[in-house]
Amino acid sequence: MAAAGKLAGETAIVTAAGQGLGEEIAKTFAREGANVAVVDINLTEADRVCAEIKVAGGVAIAFKTDATKKPEVTSMVAAVIAQWGTVDILVNAAGGFHQFAPITEIAEEEWDRVINVNLKSAFLCAQAVAKTMMEKRKGRIISISSGAGVGPNPHAPSYLPYGAGKAGLIGFSKLLARDIGEYGVTVNTVAPGTTLTPRVRKVRDAASIEIIKSRNPMKSLVEPEDCAAAVLFLASKDARYITGVNLNVNAGNIIV
């Protein structure tokens, strides 16, 4: 780790940091000098990421937290503040879904589950850190949306709860940016397209990956570190006057 970096001395919370984009963001932040709360519902994976950060010379603590449960979120944020005195950055990376289905086959319970993990979790975490950030008149809140929240993909099936949750996340962030901007807190979203996370590499074969690449203007797919770099930019001083924006990171796929 560098002795100083773009986030030197900052304290960051990253949800869903036990895998995928959340893991890459947590490790990127640690390399840039932040104290990182590695938050995940799976403590084993959170501990693994935390250990890898420490081996590389970074500072991190793992927290087992269901980000859709207010008591757990409140307890986690309180523990982070007790450890490091503040929260400077929140990254809401929790999200996802596990199946495609037409509207006629989506159960109410499935709708609630997907909306909760993609949207409610961001609300609860933002609410838990807002007071601290507003009081010190400094903070960054960054949520991971998706191209599915910007518009339907003409080349892939849609899944209503996921797209609605990610679209809601963009709207929520714009509204929150307006509400707390006067306190020096910025609120933004990053919307990745299909990203070559370990999970994507596992569920897609080489042929399907090449097809997806061919549909992008840049004929490429985004790597996790590309998304993490975008989040790092929004978390840094370089983006101090950027708020209420959604940054698409998808090799141009959203413009097609």
| Residue-by-residue DSSP string for the chain | --SS-TTTT-EEEETTTTSHHHHHHHHHHHHTT-EEEEEES-HHHHHHHHHHHHHTT-EEEEEE--TT-HHHHHHHHHHHHHHHS---EEEE-----S----GGG--HHHHHHHHIIIIIHHHHHHHHHHHHHHHHT-EEEEEE--GGGTS--TTS---HHHHHHHHHHHHHHHHHHHHHGGGTEEEEEEEE-SB--HHHHHHS-HHHHHHHHHTSTTS--B-HHHHHHHHHHHHSGGGTT--S-EEEESTTGGG-
Q: Is 183 a catalytic residue?
A: no
Q: Report if residue 124 sits inside a domain.
A: yes
Q: Report if residue 255 sits inside a domain.
A: no
**pLDDT at residue 40 above 60?**
yes
Tokens representing 15? 């949800």
Q: Report if residue 76 sits inside a domain.
A: yes
Q: Report if residue 132 sits inside a domain.
A: yes
Query: Which tens digits make up the pLDDT trace of 112-124?
Result: 999 999 999 999 9
Query: Which tens digits make up the pLDDT trace of 189-220?
Result: 999 876 556 665 565 667 766 666 666 766 66
Q: Report if residue 207 sits inside a domain.
A: no
Query: Which tens digits make up the pLDDT trace of 229-245?
Result: 999 999 999 999 999 99
Could you give the number of structural domains in the chain? 1
Residue 209: predicted pLDDT: 65
**pLDDT at residue 107 above 90?**
yes
Residue 131: predicted pLDDT: 97
Query: Which tens digits make up the pLDDT trace of 135-191?
Result: 999 999 999 998 777 877 666 666 899 999 999 999 999 999 999 999 999 999 999
CATH number for position 231: 3.40.50.720
Residue 4: predicted pLDDT: 80
Q: Report if residue 162 sits inside a domain.
A: yes
Residue 77 is part of which domain span?
11-197+225-245
Q: Report if residue 239 sits inside a domain.
A: yes
Q: Which of 159, 162, 183, 241 is catalytic?
A: 159
Residue 1: predicted pLDDT: 47
Q: Report if residue 65 sits inside a domain.
A: yes
**pTM exceeding 0.85:** yes
Higher pLDDT, 22 or 100: 22
Region 76-84: mean pLDDT is 98
Residue 256: predicted pLDDT: 52
